[in-house]
Structure 1
Amino acid sequence: MSILSRNDICWCGSGKKYKKCHMEQDIFISNIEQKVGYKIPRDIMKTEEQIDGIRKSCKLTHEILDMVGERIKVGVTTNEINTWVHEYTVEHNAYPAPLGYGGFPKSVCTSINDVICHGIPDDTVLKDGDIVNVDVTCILDGYYGDANRMFIMGEASKEAIDLVRVSKECLDLGIQQVKPYNTLGDIGNAIQQHAESLGYSVVYDYGGHGVGLEFHEEPFVPHIGKKGEGTILLPNMTFTIEPMINIGSPEADVLEDDWTAVTIDGSLSSQWEHTIRVTETGYEILT
């Protein structure tokens, strides 16, 4: 970013004069940069126009997950879920982001029981007691919205139900740490402390990520960490928080399909995800 004078048009694309837009924030960030010793990229902050587009895509993602929630039940195959998601997405003039991404063959990720993430839909039939994560990302007018939810099939064990509940609590606690000038370490620490205090582990091989203009953007969002460490949160950053919580070991193994990540000890795993925007005073859950 070039040096701007007070009356220049702001670098963010808002059309406002610099002094009426990002000047005060940039001065604050510059002071932080002098303390931490590294440059904080301004382009991780979205414009209002971009936020509006991302918000619309996230709304569609939310609607898709609602639709899945109304239909999913024991006896359904994960391929059926894939068909529902694909058709609903296309009918609403959007595109399912997973399809073809890095060679991924389907339009949604479905992760059952010991699958941590990136499960590929197939002819697997959902059984009574299964817990399944459905991970949806759609592209609407060039903008991305990313979220996932857990679904419990029939009568699950107390162990499975508790895991699903705690993983959602971890997501909520992580989101509560989102506000300007907090750090990604604050988010990760809140998640890690809650999970580990209850005897669960947090997957560290995978995390959240910037999202909005691309499927995966900077920064990487770890779900473990120390308070005050890591990337500083700034208004109009958009990223996902998606903690993966295991009953057993936090370690993951990737199957021969090069996508499906499973717990190394076969223990259950649960994950929830939202796309979050940092606001001037806190956060907005876009999905």
Structure 2
Amino acid sequence: MIHVKSPEQIELMRESALIVSKTLGMLAKEVKPGVTTIQLDKLAEQFIRDHGAKPGFLGLYDCPSTLLTSINMAVVHGLPTDEPLKEGDIVSIDCGALMNGFYGDHAYTFEIGEIAPETKKLLEVTKESLYIGIKEFKAGNRVGDVGHAIQQYCEKHGYGVVRELVGHGVGEKMHEDPEMPNYGKRGRGKKFIEGMVVAIEPMINMGTQRIKQLKDGWTIVTADGKPSAHFEHDVALVDGKPELLSTFAYIYEALGIESNEEDEFRKKALVL
């Protein structure tokens, strides 16, 4: 069952999403060689609580952490550890927050120092596919239109599109209907309706699409050991068009990156 949100609820969800965005922006300054993901996890939990929200993942499905930190061949759901990040690593940081009775859920894959050119290309294509998918989240379209657009773009570059893990609706629960696969056929699946809010999150592998789970019961890795990238936004359907509730702008501000990639998905400029 799809839970349609009122304009007022969407504004509350924007606050929840932006808490996560601000948390990732804070972490962007801390993600560097020598830092452990457990250290990042503690910083994130404190930041979220200091801003009047609760960590969205901590305790959810018995999750033991505020962040899910997936390094190199880890696709998603990596648990924070005391292993230091190294030059050339990539780490997907997935974060959630509960505020105003609604969840925000948002992810970004960070570069640790200088990374291999082929890995940088993977990150670029995966992030580009996120916005290609978001463009298809509009009145009259269906779930398959988003998945098809992401799949076609990533497979054109020779990458594997994970099948077993999908995006999802988000709201008073972290995971709501509909499921949002990153693959599919145009015109298939549930139809998008005004007031829907979804988390669109391409999970794209440099090699095979196949994955496996580690013995910790959480971490999902690529079957061939090659890197994987993951980017995620919360998006509402407003006036028949996709509107971003989350943003990478705080990350870009911290890293000195200039970008206009989000402009077409906002009614007005974001004030940092």
Say yes or no: TM over 0.5. yes
Of 139, 147, 153, 1:188 maps to 147
Measure how far apart 1:225 and its partner are. 0.5
Partner residue of 2:20? 61
Of 106, 118, 122, 2:65 maps to 106
Does structure 1 residue 148 correspond to structure 2 residue 107? Answer: yes
Percent sequence identity is: 39
Measure how far apart 1:146 and its partner are. 0.7
For normalisation by structure 2, the TM-score amounts to 0.89
For normalisation by structure 1, the TM-score amounts to 0.84
Query: Which structure has the greater CA radius of gyration?
Result: 1
| AA at the equivalent of 1:173 | I
- Rounded Cα–Cα distance in structure 2 between residues aligned with 1:84 and 1:203: 30
- The 5-angstrom pairing of residues 203-218 of structure 1 reads 203-218=162-177
Does structure 1 residue 241 correspond to structure 2 residue 200? Answer: yes
Q: Which has the higher contact order (CA 8 A, sep 6+)?
A: 2
| AA at the equivalent of 1:172 | Y
Gaps of 5+ in 2: 247-272
Indicate the SS of the match to 2:12. helix
Does structure 1 residue 122 correspond to structure 2 residue 81? Answer: yes
Does structure 1 residue 138 correspond to structure 2 residue 97? Answer: yes
- Rounded Cα–Cα distance in structure 1 between residues aligned with 2:46 and 2:176: 26
- Rounded Cα–Cα distance in structure 1 between residues aligned with 2:54 and 2:223: 33
Measure how far apart 1:90 and its partner are. 0.6
Measure how far apart 1:216 and its partner are. 0.7
Partner residue of 2:213? 254
What is the RMSD of the two structures over their aligned residues, measured on CA atoms?
0.9
Indicate the SS of the match to 1:44. coil
Indicate the SS of the match to 1:57. helix
Does structure 1 residue 77 correspond to structure 2 residue 36? Answer: yes
Indicate the SS of the match to 1:71. coil
* Residues 40-59 of structure 1 deviation map (CA, whole Å, 9 limit, x = unaligned): x5x52112222121111011
- Rounded Cα–Cα distance in structure 2 between residues aligned with 1:285 and 1:155: 30
| AA at the equivalent of 1:186 | D
Partner residue of 1:173? 132
Gaps of 5+ in 1: 1-40
Measure how far apart 1:192 and its partner are. 0.4
| AA at the equivalent of 2:194 | P
Q: Which runs of 4+ in 1 moved over 4 A?
A: none
| AA at the equivalent of 2:30 | R
- Rounded Cα–Cα distance in structure 2 between residues aligned with 1:77 and 1:122: 7
Indicate the SS of the match to 2:131. helix
How many residues get paired?
A: 246
Partner residue of 2:158? 199
* Residues 64-95 of structure 1 deviation map (CA, whole Å, 9 limit, x = unaligned): 11111122111110001101100000111111
* Residues 136-195 of structure 1 deviation map (CA, whole Å, 9 limit, x = unaligned): 110012111111001101111011101111100110100111111101111001000000
- Rounded Cα–Cα distance in structure 1 between residues aligned with 2:214 and 2:85: 20
